[in-house]
Structure formats: structure tokens, C-alpha cells
Amino acid sequence: MQRPEGSRRALSPVIGIALLAAIVVLLATVTGAMVLGFGDHLHQPAEQSVVMDTTGIIGIEYRDEDCCGGNETRPDVDHVLIRHEGGASIDGAETGTVIVRYSGDDGEGGELRFINPEYYDESTEQEHHEGTVGEATTGVFSAGDTMTVIVANNDYREGPYADGLSDGEKHERYGEYEESTYNQIQLSGEEVFVRTEGRYPLERTGDRTMRPGDDVTVQFLDSDHRYVIGEASGTVDEFDGTVTAGEDTGA
């Protein structure tokens, strides 16, 4: 049975209003995502498939170099330890970025991004140093392993800009991590997660280097640098043992 002509006319404005409302809602959603930066957020896994914990240890090693000012009493190499306690393995060859974030009660902190050279444009000069990072060696992080993220800072750097400054003044004036051939991500024993021949491509932001009592979080991202494939959190401690010279992997 055909619907009366008047009924069809009455339905047309209703359908038009419904369509207009749907378009408005869609536009509002897209605009909100753009304004709030949802597209820049990392995608967390629905369920954590890797069980890990982490500890930051500052002042554990020093760079035995004329340029850097480090020694047994002025350590300028920090470590972040991650213990794999169970679950899926993480393959260094398939990991795009390892992120280390740290923050303290003072509201200050920073972020380090260790970029896998396989997913890094070697034709682009690094932030502070020219040249390529060279060949990369990778390994697999599995249950029972301990990973060590090794990163150098410039707290005690020597040179014309540091002449005449006390250690404390250098610490306040510089106080940031830097690209270095000492930087690497090592696994238990002599194994490596990611190591480069040259300076490890390191992106960093923040106010300072790590301090005792800071909260620290480590995230492993996939090769697209978008999806979190593993995460661990802990705190930062100060090393209370004998400080030794670190390993220059580019030597």
C-alpha cells in the first residue's frame, strides 16, 4: 500500500534534520581530535603481554675522555635497568623506538628517545653531530633478561664554555643527556638489544638529567613509532658502589 503524499512530504524535513545533526556531530569529533592532538597519542595495547619492572641508576660510570670531564668522583654515565619477568619477547630489530621518561616532585624531568637506526634517516645529520650512525646490531629481550639503557650526560663537560665554572655550576648550566658513542641498549651478559657503530641517534627534551627519587617509565614502540609493545615503571636511585669507566662502543 502506497504511503499518502502528505506523509512523504512530512518525512523529508525529518530525514534532512537527522542527516544535518549527524554531519555536525562528525565535524565536532574531527575538530576535537585535531585540537586535542589525539592523532599524536601513542596507542596502548588492550592487554599488557610483557611483564617488566625498571630502576634508574645515576652516576654508575664515567667517560674516560678529555672532553667530558668525567672521572671516578664525577660520573657522567647513567643506567636504566629493565627486568623482563615474563610474557612475550621484544625483538630489537622490530622495535622502532625506546622511550625513557623521568620526572620528580619538583615538576621537572625529561624524555629520551632511542631510535632504532634501521628506522632512522642516516642521510640526515644528527642534532649535534654530523655523519651517519653506522651499522646496527640488535638482539631479543626475553623473560629472565635484564636490559640496561646506557646514556651519557654533559654535567661535567670541559672546554671553553665550561672554563672557570665549578662542578656545581657545570651541573646547573649543562645538565642534559647527549649523543655519544657510549650510549647503547645492552642485554644480560655480552648481548645487545640495539648498538651502533657511531653515535646513537638520541632525541631528548626536558629540564635536566635524572635525579634520585624521580619516577621513571620505559616504553617500547613498534617500527612505526606509534604502538606501545611493552612498558615498565619504577624509580631512580643513586649508585653507591665503585664508579668505573664506561665502554666506548665507537672506539
Which cell goes with 232? 615498565
Q: CA 190 → CA 118, 139, 148, 171, 243, distances in Å?
A: 21, 11, 11, 32, 20
**Are the C-beta atoms of residues 81 and 57 closer than 8 Å to each other?**
yes
User: Is 168 or 6 the better-scoring residue by pLDDT?
Assistant: 168
The CA distance from 28 to 128, in Å, is 42
**Are the C-beta atoms of residues 54 and 81 closer than 8 Å to each other?**
yes
User: Is 48 or 223 the better-scoring residue by pLDDT?
Assistant: 223
Of 65-74, 107-116, 136-145, 212-221, least confident by mean pLDDT is: 65-74
- Write down how long the chain is: 251
The CA distance from 62 to 64, in Å, is 6
Please, which contacts does 165-169 make with residues 24 or more away whose CB atoms are closer than 8 Å?
167/74
Structural element, H or E, at residue 163: none
* pLDDT of 223 over the 50 cut: yes
Percent of the chain with pLDDT over 70: 67
- Strand pairing partners for 216? 102, 234
* pLDDT of 184 over the 50 cut: yes
CA 83 to chain centre: 17
What's the half-sphere exposure (Cβ side, CA atoms, 13 Å) at 110? 17
Mean pLDDT of 146-175: 72
Mean pLDDT of 185-210: 85
Count helices and strands in the chain by DSSP H and E runs:
2, 14
The CA distance from 16 to 192, in Å, is 62
Give residue limits of the domains in the chain: 5-39, 48-240
Q: CA 214 → CA 16, 104, 245, distances in Å?
A: 57, 4, 25
* pLDDT of 113 over the 70 cut: yes
Residue 128 has what pLDDT? 41
The CA distance from 142 to 85, in Å, is 8
Residue 158 has what pLDDT? 64
pLDDT tens digits, one per residue of 72-96: 988 999 999 999 999 999 999 999 8
